[in-house]
Structure 1
């Protein structure tokens, strides 16, 4: 199937041709026909599967562009970076449509400038973060009540960050016939009341896969200890040759330290994505990242969530997030658009339970350790020898073990039992040696006799 088979309007097909989109992903094949027919959906699919264009294309196709001064689509995202990314995606698709306009409204941007931009004309498509959108509506600047489509992207993160009340407020102001669709890589139980309230008639779409992450990603555990993190990171950096590598941390205050480590390793040009950047810095940093200015990027989970950075080949998690769904989003920065990728996790005994939980979700890891300043694979699967209960040594050993069962034993019985078992094994081994020697002598004697008779 090709994008041209969906029956989109000419301006969309022209845009798709220019950006080089030919074949839809699985989630796009499922979602696009439904939204194109005005059906609301709840789509759950792991990061990097093309969820953004699965809602943008049919909505931009369906909008009535003759209603030029009305907001017809509202897209809500949890982060400024994701909002800007969708804003750029929307502009790309509307390039050949001179009637469609798009507005971006996110925290940190000059709100007075945003107000001036919408005073004379409301944008056709509005994209933004919950708090800023709500403020713009309450102050009478954005008339979102006319929206025919609402998309809540990365909804689980909106819930986690405490923005669901703002979204609930805005939806309560929009007409009841609005088409509300929700997209996320993960959907937690806390969202159920919200889903029942606004999306009870929606069609649930899920990319079913035993592995919750993209199959193109190789997950690698590297055994370390806290004091060895720097040396392990140095070794990983020296062994990989990334197109783009993202290094993730839980705490923003660790980012400067990791950047200084990378500088020490000889990497001088490092990008950074985190909440301590002001709005201008974040906008500039995102543009530079999208332009391919950085081979190495250090990031926090929230800042990098949902954004598509072209060409990420490697992920390094210096630590694991408390909410393990964020690891799925971290690793999902790579392995996108059919490319392969690697996700490294620095691992020690303190986060063993987290690794076990990720494995229980279906993620398979290969295991490495640092040895002689190199990463060496650890063979974690030990081959078990077949147990034959009928072998003499096992028969005699079982007799000794059974002898102690059900008895009132004295202290030190395990030591005595072990000594008896060892003696049995030793006696049987000697017996086997004697039998082997006797057999060898017999074979030699037999061979010698045959040689004599032949002569």
Structure 2
């Protein structure tokens, strides 16, 4: 299928040509026609599957240019970084259609400047985080209730971060004939209960089985033998030659610990991404990361999820997240844009069960260990099956069913005949054992008589 099949307006197609977008991804193929026809959507899709353009393209196509200075679409996201990313994705379309205006509303920015700009003009598309959108609405600055389309992206993360009440407040202010879309990587029970309020007349799109564009990521378990973390990281630093490594930890307190270990290994410039960073520091850090100032960046899942960073060659999971879907997001930071990437997991006694769960989800792991401080991929030893001795009678039965026309029930018949042979052999073995016992007893009795 080609993007031309969607019958987009000329400016949308022209921008897609500029971006060298030719064929839609699986999620785009499923979602675009629905939103384009004003249908409500609840979509389950992983990072890296192209879901952002699956909602942006139909919304951009359906903008009514007869209604200037009015918010026509509202996109709600959990983090500033993701909001900025979607904002950047909209900007190329303005080149071919300057009547489109897009507003970015996130925490850490001067709210008075936002208010002044909104008093002059409302954006066609408003993108923002829940708290800032609520603040601007309460100030009567952002007239978001005029929107025809609302997208709630990464709504599982919105739920995890405790923003769901703020999103709920916004949705209750919107008009009834709204086109509403929810996008999420996972839908757990609490989120499912929440979505039931909005699930009426909605199309559910499950694209969770589709492989992200990062299918060229190699997943490797590092056999640490439960050695000290400092020694393990030291060996990794010596063994790999990365362009950019993202090291993931489960909580922000561990970030400084890993940064300290890396600096002891001579890694002077280490980036950090976690929730405790001030807004300006986070913005500056992300800019420095994208400017290739670091080889190593230590991050938490919340801070790095949804952030698109070019050139990540390696991902290292110090420990695995409780919600294993976050591992998909972690590994999805590398192997992008047809490049190859490696995702390492430090394999230890604590995460064996989680690794088995990931294997059940279809992730194939290679195994590596340290030899003289160097990381080496190994081939797991497989136990050789001992050859099974088959007696002549059983072999005759197997041959009987080998090169003949297969008939219904032949397996049952063959098994029954083999079982019969086994029973006969078992009876014969028992009889031989009994005869031997009798013979031994008789022999002992004779020896006693002759001794007397």
User: What is the alpha-carbon distance in structure 2 between the residues aligned to residue 225 and residue 141 of structure 1?
Assistant: 58
Q: 1:93 to 1:270 in 2, by over 3 A?
A: farther
Q: Once the two structures are superposed, what CA deviation does each residue of 1:218-240 show, in whole Å capped at 9, x if it has no partner?
A: 21111226652222223223333
User: What is the alpha-carbon distance in structure 2 between the residues aligned to residue 49 and residue 382 of structure 1?
Assistant: 36
Q: Report what 1:202 is aligned to.
A: 202
- The answer as to 2:203 corresponding to 1:177 is no
Q: Once the two structures are superposed, what CA deviation does each residue of 1:425-449 show, in whole Å capped at 9, x if it has no partner?
A: xxxxxxxxxxxxxxxxxxxxxxxxx
Q: Report what 1:247 is aligned to.
A: 247
Q: Report what 1:437 is aligned to.
A: none
- The answer as to 2:85 corresponding to 1:85 is yes
Q: Report what 1:219 is aligned to.
A: 219
Contact 2:213 2:337 in 1 (8 A): no
Q: Report what 1:451 is aligned to.
A: none
Q: Once the two structures are superposed, what CA deviation does each residue of 1:232-291 show, in whole Å capped at 9, x if it has no partner?
A: 223223333333321111121222332333334443333321112111111222233334
Runs (5+) with no aligned partner, structure 1? 404-455
Q: Report what 1:414 is aligned to.
A: none
Alignment of 1:21-420 (within 5 A): 21-207=21-207, 209=209, 214-224=214-224, 227-386=227-386, 388=388
295-304 or 252-261: bigger deviation: 252-261
User: What is the alpha-carbon distance in structure 1 between the residues aligned to residue 73 and residue 171 of structure 2?
Assistant: 12
User: What is the alpha-carbon distance in structure 1 between the residues aligned to residue 65 and residue 266 of structure 2?
Assistant: 53
Given the two structures, how large is their TM-score scaled by the length of structure 2? 0.81
Q: Report what 2:394 is aligned to.
A: none
Q: CA deviation at 1:127?
A: 0.9
Q: Report what 1:413 is aligned to.
A: none
Contact 2:46 2:208 in 1 (8 A): no
Given the two structures, how large is their TM-score scaled by the length of structure 1? 0.80
User: What is the alpha-carbon distance in structure 1 between the residues aligned to residue 31 and residue 387 of structure 2?
Assistant: 54
Q: Which stretches of structure 1, 4 residues or longer, exceed 6 Å deviation after superposition?
A: 210-213
Q: Once the two structures are superposed, what CA deviation does each residue of 1:381-418 show, in whole Å capped at 9, x if it has no partner?
A: 52232353669xxx9xxx9xx99xxxxxxxxxxxxxxx
38-47 or 139-148: bigger deviation: 38-47
Q: CA deviation at 1:210?
A: 8.2
User: What is the alpha-carbon distance in structure 2 between the residues aligned to residue 304 and residue 40 of structure 1?
Assistant: 29
User: What is the alpha-carbon distance in structure 1 between the residues aligned to residue 187 and residue 39 of structure 2?
Assistant: 20
User: What is the alpha-carbon distance in structure 1 between the residues aligned to residue 197 and residue 85 of structure 2?
Assistant: 29
Determine helix, strand or coil for the equivalent of 1:277.
Answer: coil
Q: Report what 1:418 is aligned to.
A: none
Contact 2:238 2:374 in 1 (8 A): no
Q: 1:38 to 1:14 in 2, by over 3 A?
A: same
Q: 1:290 to 1:56 in 2, by over 3 A?
A: farther
User: What is the alpha-carbon distance in structure 2 between the residues aligned to residue 40 and residue 339 of structure 1?
Assistant: 35
Name the count of aligned residue pairs: 396
Cα RMSD after superposing both structures: 2.6
Determine helix, strand or coil for the equivalent of 2:218.
Answer: strand
Q: 1:231 to 1:95 in 2, by over 3 A?
A: farther
Runs (5+) with no aligned partner, structure 2? 392-421, 431-452
Q: 1:178 to 1:332 in 2, by over 3 A?
A: same
Contact 1:84 1:104 in 2 (8 A): yes
Q: Report what 1:7 is aligned to.
A: 7
107-116 or 258-267: bigger deviation: 258-267
Determine helix, strand or coil for the equivalent of 2:350.
Answer: helix
